């Protein structure tokens, strides 16, 4: 029955046609597969790179290939939704052009290189009809959905600390724009991975009041080592780390409360030094730990393609946007504050 329901949903959402801008790692490896899983046909792909054009021609044979955004917008009669999977530094101008073209727009995170740029995009979207959302797919991680359900049930008691790490062992960086670009151009882990980490923390524990940060560029042009300590308005503290040179990655998630802890060590097949809590059962996501006792936690339903299923309903006018773009501005305010803290040393307000 579940598969029949999915098939019916795919049949319904096929009326939402997608124009995809960019066919690098994000466009090819993340957005295109998730769009396919959600049943949304890609009808136009914009990329100027010959190799990527060849890849798109083979992998999306029904899509028309154009060299740039102008070519895609010239074919707006074939498109209902534009997905910007382009480098972060291009998001502002591209988003404005797509909104002016009357199209619904998904912008890959982060929305802009800073909060001011993101706020300008959001303001322009409001002036032109509000057809904007941001690709925060990690909200649909089974781990995030599972943790949210534990918090809603009060299983952990009064939570006082949230830890989440995105650590990997990559001493030789990949040769990609994100590793080679400066922070002003949108490069580095602060804008990349902390856009997810901070969004997750805010979704779980609310607005951020204060920020402390330590940032370093060890092997790349911008940050490949970024630690943030956030104090939420409700008093919960979030410790968030993104690091590309962690030879022994730490636990993915640890949430501490008066009634117990939630611990996740495994994450997308990344190596971990904490095998004592490894959980290979696909029906579980992490452990509920109370002293010497640990209990596997059933996995809540969650899949990244659910973002695009929700986006299709949004385009058809059935629901609100899957992610409020103002949330992306709030995240970037925290990241802007992190840069100030790392430069000047103090804990700084998030607003």
Q: What is the CATH number of the domain that holds 46?
A: 3.40.50.720
Share of the chain above pLDDT 70, in %: 93
C-alpha–C-alpha distance, residues 218 and 210, integer Å: 26
Determine contact, residues 52/23, Cβ cutoff 8 Å: yes
Inside any domain, residue 326:
no
User: What is the 8-class DSSP label of residue 115?
Assistant: H
Inside any domain, residue 241:
yes
The structure tokens listed for 309 are 């299923």
* Residues 104, 193 within the same domain: no
Overall domain count for the chain = 2
Inside any domain, residue 343:
yes
* Residues 159, 298 within the same domain: yes
pLDDT in tens, 214-257: 999 999 888 999 999 999 999 999 999 999 999 888 889 999 99
C-alpha–C-alpha distance, residues 68 and 74, integer Å: 10
* Residues 105, 143 within the same domain: no
Q: pLDDT tens track of the chain, all 351 residues?
A: 444 444 444 444 468 999 999 999 999 999 999 999 999 999 999 999 999 999 999 999 999 999 999 999 999 999 999 999 999 999 999 999 999 999 999 999 999 999 999 999 999 999 999 999 999 999 999 999 999 999 999 999 999 999 999 998 889 988 887 888 887 788 889 999 999 999 999 999 999 999 999 999 999 888 999 999 999 999 999 999 999 999 888 889 999 999 999 999 877 766 566 655 555 677 888 899 999 999 999 989 889 999 999 999 999 999 999 999 999 999 999 999 999 999 998 877 887
CATH number of the domain encompassing residue 169: 3.30.360.10
CA 194 from centroid of its chain's CA atoms: 9
* Residues 42, 176 within the same domain: no
The structure tokens listed for 318 are 């059935």
Strands 225-232 and 237-243: antiparallel
Residues 6+ apart with CB under 8 A from 169: 245, 246, 247, 249, 271
* Residues 117, 196 within the same domain: no
* Residues 313, 205 within the same domain: no
Inside any domain, residue 46:
yes
* Torsional sign, CA 313, 139, 87, 339: positive
* Residues 30, 144 within the same domain: no
Q: What is the pLDDT of residue 253?
A: 94
Inside any domain, residue 59:
yes
What Rg value do the Cα atoms of the chain yield, rounded?
20
- Which of 5, 88, 83, 100 has its CA nearest to residue 43? 83
Inside any domain, residue 56:
yes
Q: What is the pLDDT of residue 338?
A: 97
C-alpha–C-alpha distance, residues 204 and 223, integer Å: 25
Inside any domain, residue 329:
no
* Residues 131, 181 within the same domain: no
* Residues 39, 166 within the same domain: no
Inside any domain, residue 325:
no
* Residues 128, 105 within the same domain: yes
Q: Give residue 6's domain range.
A: 2-136+305-320
Rounded-to-10 torsion of CA 307, 308, 314, 316? -160
Residues 6+ apart with CB under 8 A from 287: 262, 263, 264, 277, 279, 294, 295, 296, 297
C-alpha–C-alpha distance, residues 256 and 156, integer Å: 7
Collapsed DSSP state (helix, strand, coil) of residue 86: coil
* Residues 131, 116 within the same domain: yes
* Residues 261, 316 within the same domain: no
């Amino acid at each position: 029955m579940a598969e029949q329901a999915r098939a019916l949903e795919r049949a319904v959402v096929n009326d939402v046609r997608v124009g995809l801008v960019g066919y690098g790692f994000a466009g090819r490896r993340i957005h295109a597969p998730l769009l396919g899983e959600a049943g949304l046909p890609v009808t136009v792909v914009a990329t100027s790179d010959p190799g990527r054009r060849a890849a798109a021609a083979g992998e999306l044979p029904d899509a028309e290939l154009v060299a740039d955004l102008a070519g895609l917008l010239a074919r707006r009669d074939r498109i209902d939704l534009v997905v910007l999977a382009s480098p972060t530094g291009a998001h502002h101008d591209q988003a404005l052009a797509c909104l002016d073209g009357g199209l619904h727009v998904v912008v890959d995170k982060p929305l802009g290189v800073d909060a001011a740029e993101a706020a300008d995009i959001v303001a322009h979207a409001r002036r032109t009809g509000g057809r904007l959302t941001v690709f925060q797919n990690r909200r649909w991680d089974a781990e995030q959905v599972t943790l949210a359900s534990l918090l809603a049930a009060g299983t952990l008691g009064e939570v006082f600390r949230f830890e989440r790490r995105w650590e990997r062992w990559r001493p030789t960086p990949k040769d990609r724009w994100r590793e080679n670009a400066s922070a002003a151009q949108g490069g580095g882990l602060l804008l990349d991975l902390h856009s997810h980490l901070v969004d997750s923390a805010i979704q779980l524990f609310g607005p951020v009041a204060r920020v402390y940060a330590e940032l370093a560029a060890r092997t790349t042009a911008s940050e490949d080592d970024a630690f943030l300590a956030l104090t939420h308005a409700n008093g919960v503290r979030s410790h968030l780390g993104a690091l590309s040179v962690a030879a022994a990655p730490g636990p993915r998630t640890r949430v501490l409360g008066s009634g117990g802890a939630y611990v996740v060590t495994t994450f997308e097949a990344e190596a971990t030094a904490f095998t004592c809590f490894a959980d290979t059962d696909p029906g579980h996501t992490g452990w509920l730990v109370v002293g010497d006792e640990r209990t596997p936690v059933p996995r809540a339903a969650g899949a990244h393609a659910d973002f695009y299923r929700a986006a299709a309903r949004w385009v058809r006018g059935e629901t609100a946007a899957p992610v409020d773009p103002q949330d992306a501005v709030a995240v970037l305010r925290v990241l802007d504050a992190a840069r100030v803290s790392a430069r000047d040393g103090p804990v700084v307000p998030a607003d």
